[in-house]
């Protein structure tokens, strides 16, 4: 490697693929292969490969914008920051601190997420902070905490996947959402393992499966219960494991036994023979895993749905054993770290509970404030957005584009317009930024240093490779400047390593303990898995080093420090008694089922060339050409009923609004379901249609199932 090569990580999804940046002839950077990072071993998808395009794009913002006479016009940084500070201060004075809202993003680095949470609670003194990660993996996080006492997306490295015996992928389309990860399941098959994919669509991932189960959207909870029923009925329960490592089995068992396979077949559309085959494939190997993604999680019963899959894993003795267990494939780039360090409504840094008095004392001491001044938990993301213009009067938003990505998006857009004051920090004029009173142009991934935590819980160092354009500042600069204008001169450094050092102390002793992790270690060890405490164990050892017998790269000894924890739960779970908890769950329908007026189910998702709301990827020519707009995927039988041919414009109508997009006709989807990707604004905005019915535990909206009517648009 030459001195001009900067090893770093992709700005997009939770895989956080390693890449090298090299100088480009135009003064920018080019992406080059980086084979030393074990998650992607040099492979990148089109999004990662083209990521530098946005650094020099003519559409990126390089000057603050302030609304004057109803239009956004360029302004200086002093004026822009003053306008934001005045807007927030006015709201606080007139309506109280909780009238100020803060909305973050799962793409922000750990340092930014930490500083944003601290800014909300120390400077604004508001409880009203949450982030778009609530829409991503919150149901899996809630179910993981409920069952294991701890949420870390994957409690084992991805490298374990090819070495297990069977993987059930539930509601994950790896081939499109994180293509380099597909090799883990193809290697699994090459090694003799089997793959089961649960998805209402025969996706490119499902095409790889040995068994594809295609349940009706919103019924995977029943599917898992049916499998658990058969596990018990066929005598496949791991009695010894259940006795020694779990609690609550009898109640969970009784709930599953109430779901007869024939009943489950009627609910899900998955036949009893298919259920039996899945149980046999999952139970026969010594090791097996269930990996969930947004399919089961983005439901109004997402926590219980994930809980049902965890119960299946526990009954068969999988979690906390080598090469086995349950994991969640988190989606956003720092979806994992973003939820650990304080931008979530109910969390303090270190994944501590905001309601825990000891956690409040610890974090308040690090922050140099009285714990009594720390606000309590606030509203979840959708509830916060829904309260805009009523209880929430001003909003500071970083790294998110809810006009496209929030459920019931037209309503959210109208709520944003009704705010007294809106400030947005972004790299482009997103659909949400276009509504703001002040827009701040901020640095991008290759122009700043910072850490992220990928879906495995592996903390990574992203390095600065470029000087940002003139006129652009980092989010940390923004928070530093605003804090000073609002009367807090200290505590908001602009140097990311300084922020990380404070984050280490704030996280010490918490579930997500980063205190033993330093920038130096991240650089030398190519990432470190949390928890990684700094303090030594009572015998002078480096604490609990539950790294497993053959810990992979990233779990190195680190020169006598704690090595980090690639594999969790091998000895005990993170509950008080060390046992995993079964939680009894039962099937219930989606919040909105089809009826005569809205007879079809809509499910939503992603395409390979776009990322989330598309704010970045829609502005990259190559990606835009590959995926220029939305579509409505439908079965030929539904298309025939509508009289629609492939490419015909169709209108999809739900109780919340309508969207128009071309039909894409394929037998790869159930006849009772249509699918729309959600990356675009305008008349094809999928989230105009989606249902904000919330999971009672995780507060996750039901993106994955709502009732719609589909109509062919008649030519005029």
Per-residue mark of binding to ligand SF4, 330-369 (x: CB under 6 A): ----------------------------------------
The residue count for the chain: 716
CB 225 within 8 A of CB 587: yes
Near ligand SF4 by CB under 6 A: residue from 10, 108, 384, 385: 10
| Residue placing its CB nearer to ligand SF4 in the complex, 13 or 707 | 13
Of 12-20, 100-108, 193-201, 317-325, the segment contacting ligand SF4 by CB under 6 A is 12-20
* Residue 297 CB contacts under 8 Å (≥ 6 apart), including other chains: 137, 138, 139, 140, 171, 305, 306, 328, 698, 700
| Residue placing its CB nearer to ligand SF4 in the complex, 181 or 634 | 181
Per-residue mark of binding to ligand SF4, 24-43 (x: CB under 6 A): ----------------x---
Which residues are bridge partners to 664 per DSSP? 633
Near ligand SF4 by CB under 6 A: residue from 6, 8, 34, 48: 48
| Residue placing its CB nearer to ligand SF4 in the complex, 17 or 503 | 17
Minimum distance from residue 183 beta carbon to ligand SF4 (Å): 11
| Residue placing its CB nearer to ligand SF4 in the complex, 625 or 716 | 625
User: In the 8-state DSSP scheme, what is residue 433?
Assistant: G
**Residue 238 to residue 252: CA distance in whole angstroms:** 14
| Residue placing its CB nearer to ligand SF4 in the complex, 449 or 616 | 616
| Residue placing its CB nearer to ligand SF4 in the complex, 338 or 701 | 338
Of 6-14, 63-71, 151-159, 501-509, the segment contacting ligand SF4 by CB under 6 A is 6-14
Antiparallel, parallel or unpaired: β 347-348 and 352-353: antiparallel
| Interaction of residue 136 with ligand SF4, rule CB under 6 A | no
| Residue placing its CB nearer to ligand SF4 in the complex, 175 or 306 | 175
* C-alpha closest to that of 130 among 366, 392, 356, 370: 392
Q: How many CB atoms lie within 10 A of CB 489?
A: 9
Of 10-18, 74-82, 113-121, 430-438, the segment contacting ligand SF4 by CB under 6 A is 10-18
| Residue placing its CB nearer to ligand SF4 in the complex, 16 or 287 | 16
**Residue 466 to residue 424: CA distance in whole angstroms:** 24
Near ligand SF4 by CB under 6 A: residue from 6, 8, 13, 603: 13
Near ligand SF4 by CB under 6 A: residue from 6, 7, 8, 15: 15
Near ligand SF4 by CB under 6 A: residue from 6, 29, 37, 45: 45
Minimum distance from residue 572 beta carbon to ligand SF4 (Å): 32
Residue sitting closest to ligand SF4 (CB): 48
| Residue placing its CB nearer to ligand SF4 in the complex, 34 or 341 | 34
Residues binding ligand SF4: number (CB under 6 A) = 14
| Interaction of residue 16 with ligand SF4, rule CB under 6 A | yes
Q: Sign of dihedral through CA atoms 533, 536, 538, 543?
A: positive
| Interaction of residue 687 with ligand SF4, rule CB under 6 A | no
Task: Tell which positions 174-213 bind ligand SF4, by CB under 6 A.
Answer: 178-180
| Residue placing its CB nearer to ligand SF4 in the complex, 47 or 704 | 47
Question: Which segments within 638-696 are labelled E, that is strand?
Answer: 649-654, 657-665, 673-677, 691-694
Minimum distance from residue 539 beta carbon to ligand SF4 (Å): 40
| Residue placing its CB nearer to ligand SF4 in the complex, 171 or 481 | 171
Of 95-103, 173-181, 224-232, 408-416, the segment contacting ligand SF4 by CB under 6 A is 173-181
* C-alpha closest to that of 295 among 196, 172, 135, 175: 172
CB 64 within 8 A of CB 80: yes
| Residue placing its CB nearer to ligand SF4 in the complex, 16 or 303 | 16
**Residue 314 to residue 318: CA distance in whole angstroms:** 6
Minimum distance from residue 14 beta carbon to ligand SF4 (Å): 7
Cβ contacts of 517-526, under 8 Å, gap ≥ 24: 517/459, 517/564, 519/449, 519/451, 519/461, 521/558, 521/561, 522/451, 522/459, 522/460, 522/461, 523/461, 524/558, 525/554, 525/556, 525/558, 525/564, 526/18, 526/36, 526/37, 526/38, 526/553, 526/554
Helix (H) or strand (E) holding 602: strand 600-605
* Residue 124 CB contacts under 8 Å (≥ 6 apart), including other chains: 88, 92, 97, 100, 102, 486
| Interaction of residue 17 with ligand SF4, rule CB under 6 A | yes
**Residue 667 to residue 682: CA distance in whole angstroms:** 28
Cβ contacts of 22-30, under 8 Å, gap ≥ 24: 24/52, 26/56, 28/52, 28/55, 28/56, 28/466, 29/55, 29/446, 29/465, 29/466
Minimum distance from residue 396 beta carbon to ligand SF4 (Å): 27
CB 278 within 8 A of CB 213: yes
Of 9-17, 75-83, 343-351, 375-383, the segment contacting ligand SF4 by CB under 6 A is 9-17
Antiparallel, parallel or unpaired: β 166-170 and 352-353: unpaired
Q: Helix 302-315 and helix 249-257: axis angle, to 10°?
A: 110
Minimum distance from residue 424 beta carbon to ligand SF4 (Å): 23
Minimum distance from residue 333 beta carbon to ligand SF4 (Å): 7
| Residue placing its CB nearer to ligand SF4 in the complex, 309 or 611 | 611
Cα atoms found within 13 Å of the Cα of residue 494, Cβ hemisphere only: 12
Of 66-74, 172-180, 255-263, 374-382, the segment contacting ligand SF4 by CB under 6 A is 172-180
For residue 542, report the phi and psi dihedrals to the nearest 5 degrees: -85, 35
| Interaction of residue 50 with ligand SF4, rule CB under 6 A | no
Which residue ranges make up the site for ligand SF4 (CB under 6 A)? Answer: 10, 12-13, 15-17, 40, 44-45, 47-48, 178-180
């Amino acid at each position: 490697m030459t001195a001009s090569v900067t090893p770093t990580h992709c700005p997009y999804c939770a895989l956080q693929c390693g890449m090298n940046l090299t100088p480009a002839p135009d003064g920018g950077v080019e992406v080059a292969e980086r084979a030393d990072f074990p998650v992607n071993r040099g492979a990148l998808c089109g999004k990662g490969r083209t990521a530098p395009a946005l650094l020099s794009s003519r559409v990126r913002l390089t000057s603050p914008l302030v609304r004057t006479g109803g239009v956004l016009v360029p302004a200086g940084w002093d004026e822009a920051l003053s306008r934001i500070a005045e807007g927030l201060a006015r709201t606080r004075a007139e309506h109280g601190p909780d009238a100020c809202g803060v909305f973050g993003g799962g793409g922000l680095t750990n340092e930014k997420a930490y500083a944003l949470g601290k800014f909300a609670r120390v400077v604004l003194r508001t409880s009203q902070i949450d982030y778009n990660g609530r829409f991503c993996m919150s149901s899996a996080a809630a179910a993981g905490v409920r069952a294991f006492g701890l949420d870390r997306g994957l409690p084992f490295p991805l490298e374990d996947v090819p070495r297990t015996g069977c993987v059930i992928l539930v509601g994950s389309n790896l081939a499109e959402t994180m293509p380099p990860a597909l090799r883990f399941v193809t290697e699994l098959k090459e090694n003799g393992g089997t793959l089961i994919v649960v998805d209402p669509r025969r996706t490119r991932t499902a095409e790889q499966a040995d068994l594809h189960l295609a349940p009706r959207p919103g019924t995977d909870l029943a599917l898992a219960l049916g499998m658990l029923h058969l596990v018990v009925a066929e005598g496949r329960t791991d009695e010894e494991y259940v006795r020694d490592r779990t609690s609550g089995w009898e109640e969970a068992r009784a709930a599953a036994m109430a779901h007869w396979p024939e009943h489950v077949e009627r609910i899900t559309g998955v036949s009893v023979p298919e259920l039996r085959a899945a149980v046999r494939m999952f139970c026969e190997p010594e090791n097996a895993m269930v990996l969930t993604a947004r399919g089961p999680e983005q439901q109004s019963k997402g926590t219980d749905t994930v809980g049902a899959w965890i119960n299946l894993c526990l009954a068969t003795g999988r979690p906390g054993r080598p090469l086995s267990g349950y994991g969640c494939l988190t989606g956003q780039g720092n979806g994992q770290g973003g939820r650990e360090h304080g931008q979530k409504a109910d969390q303090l840094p270190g994944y501590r509970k905001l309601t825990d008095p000891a956690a409040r004392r610890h974090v308040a001491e690090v922050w140099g404030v009285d714990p009594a001044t720390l606000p309590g938990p606030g509203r979840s993301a959708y509830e916060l957005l829904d309260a805009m213009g009523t209880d929430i009067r001003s909003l500071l938003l970083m790294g998110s584009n809810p006009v496209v990505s929030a459920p019931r998006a037209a309503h959210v857009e109208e709520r944003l317009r009704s705010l007294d004051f809106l400030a947005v920090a972004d790299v482009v004029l997103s659909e949400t930024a276009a509504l703001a009173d002040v827009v701040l142009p901020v640095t991008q991934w290759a122009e700043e240093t910072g850490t992220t935590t990928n879906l495995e819980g592996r903390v990574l160092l992203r390095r600065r490779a470029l000087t940002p354009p003139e006129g652009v500042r980092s989010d940390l600069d923004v928070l530093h400047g605003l804090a000073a204008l609002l009367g807090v001169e200290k505590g908001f450094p602009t140097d990311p390593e300084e922020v990380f050092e404070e984050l280490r102390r704030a996280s010490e002793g918490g579930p997500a303990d980063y205190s033993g992790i330093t920038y130096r270690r991240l650089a030398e060890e190519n990432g470190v898995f949390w928890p990684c405490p700094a303090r030594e164990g009572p015998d002078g050892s480096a604490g609990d080093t539950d790294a497993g017998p053959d810990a992979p790269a990233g779990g190195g000894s680190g020169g006598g420090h704690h090595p980090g924890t690639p594999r969790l739960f091998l000895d005990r779970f993170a509950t008080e008694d060390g046992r995993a908890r079964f939680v009894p769950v039962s099937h219930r329908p989606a919040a909105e089922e089809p009826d005569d007026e809205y007879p079809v189910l809509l499910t939503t998702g992603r395409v390979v060339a776009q990322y989330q709301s598309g704010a970045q990827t829609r502005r990259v020519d190559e990606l835009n050409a590959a995926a220029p707009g939305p579509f409505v995927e439908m079965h030929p039988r539904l298309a025939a009923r509508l009289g629609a041919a492939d490419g015909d414009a169709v209108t999809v109508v739900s109780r919340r609004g309508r969207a128009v997009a071309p039909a894409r006709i394929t037998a790869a989807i159930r006849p009772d379901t249509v699918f729309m990707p959600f990356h675009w604004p305008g008349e094809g905005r999928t989230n105009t249609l989606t249902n904000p019915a919330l999971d009672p535990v995780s507060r996750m909206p039901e993106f994955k199932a709502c009732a719609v009517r589909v109509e062919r648009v008649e030519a005029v």
